Amino acid sequence: MKKKSRLITKKFDKKQNVNTVQKNIEFRKSKKQKRINYFIRTTFIITVTVVSGMFISAYMKNDNKTKTINLTNKKLTTKFENKKIISKKEILENNKHALNKIEKGIVVIKNGNKKRLGVVYRDDGHIITCSDNINLKENIEIQFFNKVIRHGEFIGKDSLSKIGVIKVDVGKIDFPDIIDNTSKGDRVIVIEEKSKLEDVEIFQGSVEGIHKKIFGNSNTSIKGKSLINVIITNILRREETDNIFMYNEGGNLIGINFAPKVKLSPEITYSALKITEVQEIVENILNNNNTVIKNIGIMGKGTVPTSNDGVKGLYIQKVCKGSIGEIAKIRPTDIILAVNDKEIKDLAQLVEIVSNHKKDDRLILKIWRNGEIIYNDISAYSLK
């Protein structure tokens, strides 16, 4: 009996030990699970908190930016006849010195019933303006800040940027300096001429950045240049209007934009050509005034005759819109055989001859067109 009792007791003890081990395992599992659940809950709470914080921060940032844009987007309108471009300015009240400086450099360009804004570019009487929607070639009157009116002489224009240059003989003119130290975060003042050519609007904001944009094609006045610097602001742009003048908070001209936004920059905010780009274009216009043309505006390649009577010369593949080539009615598939009786083999040779062409010299192209020989004096044409 005692042996049996010890056997039962051993079995019972063994079973009890097994149960105890199982309970310990379950307890450890339970404890581990609790730790996992606690970790998951804690991670979830932290994630929700961080994400919520990000949303709140983004909202506040966006709200602040919206407020900034809304505040700076207050428009001030004035009539050309009053010529007082800035008056009773609420958001610009603290910067009267800059605004008075800007006013002195802005002029009204008149041709009949058409009017445009322009700015004094140099103190010798050179003025730049948008060359669209107004005839700058004759009967131009320039009204200055002091109400003085003078006749202007059209010098030239750039068909891509729409920059037109006018010369006025008025002696030395006081005008805002041109500054080239614009950087991100700088405060800016934008003056925009409305499409009705009756009013102007004034905006204030800041520079979001200086971006490089693709600019034009082989017809651009800046030789071989495809990228230009554009000032991007944070001021919302509602319409695709042109004729924008951009100044820093000191009243100095830092950029202009005379082209619709789809041409210069697809941004939804106001943007402008950096003043260094403007200077380069204007200088090209002034230099081109001493020669007939610098660029015909054509693309092509040298032809290789396939027979003894084949045509050899420069085969025209493309004529750029608004170029001398288009005005002179040069056509794709034309073959330029010679210039002033000098045979042409390729585009580089033509460019060299044209770039050295002087104002009083003739520039006669000998062209093969559909079996006929045509002579075209392109020195008789001008982008003016």
Going from N- to C-terminal start, the domains of the chain cover: 78-288, 298-380
What global pTM score does this model have?
0.54
User: What is the model's pLDDT at position 138?
Assistant: 81
CATH of domain 298-380: 2.30.42.10
Which two tokens mark 137?
């070639």
User: What is the model's pLDDT at position 100?
Assistant: 80
User: What is the model's pLDDT at position 296?
Assistant: 76
Q: What is the DSSP string of 66-124?
A: HHHHHHHT----EETTT---S-S-STTGGGHHHHHHHHHHEEEEEETTEEEEEEE-STT
Across the chain, the runs of DSSP E, i.e. the strands, are 78-79, 106-111, 114-120, 126-130, 140-143, 149-157, 163-168, 187-193, 199-214, 227-236, 244-248, 253-257, 269-274, 298-302, 314-319, 335-339, 342-343, 364-369, 372-377
Q: Is 272 exposed, middle or buried (0-12, 13-18, 19+ CB in 10 A)?
A: buried
Fold of 78-288: Thrombin, subunit H (2.40.10)
With tokens 């042996």, the residue in question is 3
CA dist., res. 194 & res. 84, Å (int): 16
10-residue mean pLDDT profile of the chain (384 residues): values are 48 52 53 64 69 57 35 36 38 68 86 86 85 84 85 84 86 67 88 66 86 57 61 78 83 85 61 88 72 64 59 84 82 89 83 73 86 83 58
User: What is the model's pLDDT at position 247?
Assistant: 92
Which two tokens mark 339?
């210039």
User: What is the model's pLDDT at position 371?
Assistant: 85
